[in-house]
Amino acid sequence: MIFNILKPNKKNIQTYLAIGVSLLIIGFIDIFSNTFLNFNITGFFPNIISYLSPLILGAFGLYFIRIEYSGNKTLNTINRNLNSSNFNAILSLIVIFILIKYVPSILNWVFFDANFLGSTKEDCTGDGACWVFVRVWFNRFMYGMYPDAEQWRINYSFLVLLGSIGSIFILPHRFKKYIILFLLFIFPIIALNLISGGVFGLKWIETGAWGGLSLTFIVSAFALIFCFPIGVFLALGRRSDLPAIKYSSIGFIELWRGVPLITVLFMSAVMFPMFLPDGTYMDKLMRVIIAITLFEAAYMAEVVRGGLQALPRGQYDAAKSLGMGYWRMHFLIIMPQALKLVIPGIANTFLALVKDTPLIFVVGLLELAGMIGLAKTNPKWLGMATEGYVFAAFVFWIICFSMSRYSQNLEKKLSTER
Amino acid sequence: MNLKFFSIDLKNKKRLIPQVLTLLSIVLAISYFAFNAQVNMNNRGIAFGFGFLTQEASFDIGFSLIDYDGSHSYARAFLVGLLNTLLVSVIGIFFATLIGVTVGIGRLSSNFLVAKFSEVYVEVFRNIPLLLQLFFWYFAALRALPLPEQAINFYDISYLTVKGWYVPKFIWTNFSIFIYSILAAIVAITFVSKHAKKQREEFGKHIPSFYIGIVLLFTFPALSFFIGGVTLDFEIPVLKQMSTTIFNFRGGVSIIPELMALAMALSMYTATFIAENVRAGILGIGKGQKEAAASIGLTNTQILKLVVLPQALRIIIPPTTNQYLNLTKNSSLAAAIAYPDIVLVFAGTALMQTGRAIEIVSITMGTYLLISLSISSFMNWYNQSVAIKEK
């Protein structure tokens, strides 16, 4: 059989290496000249063969250099990781060719052909992205319609938040409790008063003017703080042996989990005012935060319930045998263990919450994605949708990716398994 | 009077009081809201009721699977929205599963490049909000497509333009016979595979049921063409000049860009979660299982088919169902790009026209709730049927 004769082996490794590498090089020259020089060196073949020629050449090249136990460390590593079979060789080639074809043009668009300096759309002369758009609108993207002169209030709130979160890690262990209590109970009130104003001579700024990335943070921070305890209580309720509490918890959880957030926001916007006494008005942002909180609390409840179910019965029995009551048992023995078990789930719920905040555009609140939607329809800046959404995607990606990495670290650190 | 009736012992009291308080507060809250709603609606002169559903809707919907125009009722408009929601969900679920399984297996590949590529895909698309991805596809990527006169041509039968993707329309005669033939093929395949299993387990005989199945799946529908009188014609879209500068395609089926963007965003986003489920499922099968299977002489394909997959599916299916549900619920983001789904048509346009907030929002939420509960109860039933039967 021809393949047996052509089967590369260690005896004539030099010949096979030479043939294989040169075939590979021809394949790469082909794809390079195709991509960057617009010249098809295999153009004399029929169309379909010329299109696939780099792949065919490369596959044969890789076939010839697939020599087991060749004695060459580099070659062995390549063969093991990229070239263990014909199928894997073709997959590797496809991935490499996709990278060669698309990564340079993406890089060009993002960096090399892009315009960074200037103040109007006319300053964008290159073929690439017009980051001038993001630069000019940056303030709006971060703060929405919040007056420029008052933006220090948002900045200070976030500095305090970051500072106190940072001090949790730096200060000794015994202060941790007080800082967390401060963050949970005192900080929200301070931040709310500072940002909305109307006290201590600060100018009142209505919530309609809030927006941009800071609104994303505000909504997710408040929803985060409130959804967690509600979720814990719902989970306990669902596992309660009192039927009325059990079934009302189940009903509540399943109701929120069964509907999309967008309809919940619609409900908070158009249906909820009908349920309030005539003439009372509840702030739109407050309604939205309550809606998101309840929605995420239902998901949180299911995550916490997973942790509760995973705990062995012995823990409950041991706690009871020490004479603990329901609440002491749950908050001293059960919850700390159950919550530790479900850190990934909790982190996922928090991530989902952050990723859900852009939805508040349906009730007319403009956070980052909404502000970009507004900016891209500005007559002076038409056609900037791609830049705007790429920027927003990048910002959200950084936030979400770092959160998920942090939760993975936390999971490892708190793991008591050996 | 019997005093014993009032003497509830301490334990019962402890159980009773929280329950009574919970129920009481729920009842109070509901009646408070209902009372306010009653007062508010009286003030505005509207009465609660679902009679408006039969009224003429008098608005148009851009994309509909069934006959619909402004003269149809609100109930019909609701049905159009619901069908559009289900359509995009089914398309999304199909592609999400396809991409998700591929990427999930890819992450476990021994090929370094493929594993990294899959990992980057998952980390990028999972950590960007779905709404932003949707906006990106709709406002940035699909807007960059060419005008009809320079359409991207797929072998002269299908055209991709900024106004949508034009594909050939299938024109069937005796379509029901074709469906019956497929059903018959499925019944035959089930029968053959049952028979093959019995033969294998009782007599150790091997029947190539997989290949027989493929042959059956093609012969039955083919027979329906030759004997059953089924015919299939294609109506291919053609470029027509509307005026001196405006061109458009006529004929065929137009897949509107809203549907494409929504299906792409939903499937690419959900695929990342499905990929993680698939990966967890395959990793969850202990090495011992594979070694044990190999030691009793099963081939690699048999190990995968008989040992690994049945166990991995048990881990994969529950969270994946959850993702399917999430995808269906997330399809409500359609409202953001004006794809006429149930939220846009019903909770949007119909609500604006009728002003019946309570009825319309509760119908919409109820519909989603019904879809969710029915899928999840079906999946619970399925889970129980595949669960390990402990003896």
Model pLDDT for residues B16-47, shown as the tens digit of each residue: 888 888 889 989 998 988 888 888 888 877 77
Residues of A in contact with B20 (CB under 8 A): 244
Nearest CA in chain B to A270: B357
Nearest CA in chain A to B328: A260
Name the band, by pLDDT with cuts 50, 70 and 90, for residue B264. Answer: very high
- Supply the angle between the helices A151-170 and A132-143 in degrees, to the nearest 10: 80
Whole-number percent of chain B with pLDDT over 90: 19
Least confident of A3-12, B57-66, B252-261: A3-12
Asked whether residue B260 carries a pLDDT value surpassing 80, the answer given is: yes
> Which of B36, B368, B372 minimises the CB distance to A276?
B36
Residues of A in contact with B132 (CB under 8 A): 358, 369, 389, 392-393, 396
Summary mean pLDDT of chain B: 83
Work out the minimum CA distance from B10 to partner chain A, whole angstroms. 15
- Supply the angle between the helices A368-376 and A385-414 in degrees, to the nearest 10: 170
The string of pLDDT tens digits covering residues B120-161 is 999 999 999 999 999 989 888 888 787 777 777 777 777 888
Work out the minimum CA distance from B140 to partner chain A, whole angstroms. 5
pLDDT at B1: 46
pLDDT at A18: 83
Asked whether residue B9 carries a pLDDT value surpassing 60, the answer given is: no
Distant-in-sequence, close-in-space partners of B111: CB < 8 Å, separation ≥ 6: A81, A82, A84, A88, A91, A92
| Spans of all domains in chain B | 51-143+256-302+314-321+330-386
Check A263 against B361: CB less than 8 A apart.
yes
Nearest CA in chain B to A86: B111
Check A274 against B369: CB less than 8 A apart.
no
pLDDT at B11: 62
Residues of B in contact with A392 (CB under 8 A): 132
Check B132 against A275: CB less than 8 A apart.
no
Average pLDDT over residues A284-302: 90
Asked whether residue B203 carries a pLDDT value surpassing 80, the answer given is: yes
The string of pLDDT tens digits covering residues A107-137 is 888 888 877 777 777 777 777 788 888 888 8
> Which of B22, B111, B130 minimises the CB distance to A82?
B111
The span from the CA of A195 to the CA of A160, in Å, is 13
pLDDT at A6: 64
Asked whether residue A185 carries a pLDDT value surpassing 70, the answer given is: yes
B50 or A213, greater pLDDT: A213
The span from the CA of A335 to the CA of A331, in Å, is 5
ipTM over 0.90: no
Q: What phi and psi, each to the nearest 5 degrees, are found at residue B157?
A: -115, -15
Asked whether residue B389 carries a pLDDT value surpassing 70, the answer given is: no
Work out the minimum CA distance from A217 to partner chain B, whole angstroms. 14
The span from the CA of A148 to the CA of A150, in Å, is 5
The string of pLDDT tens digits covering residues B150-190 is 777 777 777 888 888 888 877 777 778 888 888 888 898 88
Asked whether residue A290 carries a pLDDT value surpassing 50, the answer given is: yes
Check A267 against B365: CB less than 8 A apart.
yes
3-state secondary structure of A44: coil
Name the band, by pLDDT with cuts 50, 70 and 90, for residue B98. Answer: very high
Domain topology for B51-143+256-302+314-321+330-386: MetI-like fold (1.10.3720)
- Using alpha carbons, list the distances in angstroms from residue A236 to A98, A301, A309, B205: 51, 8, 11, 55
Do the Cβ atoms of B129 and A360 come closer than 8 Å? no
The string of pLDDT tens digits covering residues A307-353 is 888 888 888 889 989 988 888 888 888 888 888 888 888 888 888 89
Check B111 against A244: CB less than 8 A apart.
no
B41 close contact with A: CB closer than 8 A: yes
Name the band, by pLDDT with cuts 50, 70 and 90, for residue A5. Answer: low
What letter represents residue A172's amino acid? P
Asked whether residue B267 carries a pLDDT value surpassing 60, the answer given is: yes
Asked whether residue B381 carries a pLDDT value surpassing 50, the answer given is: yes
Q: What token pair was written down for B89?
A: 């969900």
B194-253 residues touching A, CB cutoff 8 A: none
Nearest CA in chain A to B376: A258
- C-alpha angle with apex B351: B349 to B352, nearest 5 degrees? 65
The full set of domains in chain A, from first to last, is 2-103 (no CATH), 132-146+205-414 (1.10.3720.10)
Asked whether residue A209 carries a pLDDT value surpassing 80, the answer given is: no
The span from the CA of B339 to the CA of A185, in Å, is 42
Nearest CA in chain A to B39: A278
What letter represents residue B339's amino acid? Y
Do the Cβ atoms of A288 and A363 come closer than 8 Å? yes
B338-357 residues touching A, CB cutoff 8 A: 343, 347, 351, 357
Summary mean pLDDT of chain A: 82
Nearest CA in chain A to B130: A355
Residues of A in contact with B262 (CB under 8 A): none
Residues of A in contact with B130 (CB under 8 A): 355
> Which of A262, A358, A400 minimises the CB distance to B332?
A262
Map chain B to HEC letters: CCHHHCCCCHHHHHHHHHHHHHHHHHHHHHHHHHHHHHHHHHHHCCCCCCHHHHCECCCCCCCCCCCCCCCCEHHHHHHHHHHHHHHHHHHHHHHHHHHHHHHHHHHCCCCHHHHHHHHHHHHHHHCCCHHHHHHHHHHHHHHHCCCHHHCEEECCCEEEECCEEEECEEEEECHHHHHHHHHHHHHHHHHHHHHHHHHHHHHCCCCCHHHHHHHHHHHHHHHHHHCCCCEEEEECCEEEECCCCCEEEECCEEECHHHHHHHHHHHHHHHHHHHHHHHHHHHCCCHHHHHHHHHCCCCHHHHHHHHHHHHHHHHHHHHHHHHHHHHHHHHHHHHHHCCCCHHHHHHHHHHHHHCCHHHHHHHHHHHHHHHHHHHHHHHHHHHHHHCCCCC
Check A277 against B109: CB less than 8 A apart.
no
Check A244 against B330: CB less than 8 A apart.
no
Check B368 against A259: CB less than 8 A apart.
yes
Check B26 against A254: CB less than 8 A apart.
no
Interface mutation target, options B132, B268, B360, chain A, most CBs of A under 10 Å:
B132
Q: CB contacts < 8 Å between A and B, how many?
A: 159
Q: Cα(first)–Cα(last) distance of chain A, in Å?
A: 54
Work out the minimum CA distance from A230 to partner chain B, whole angstroms. 15
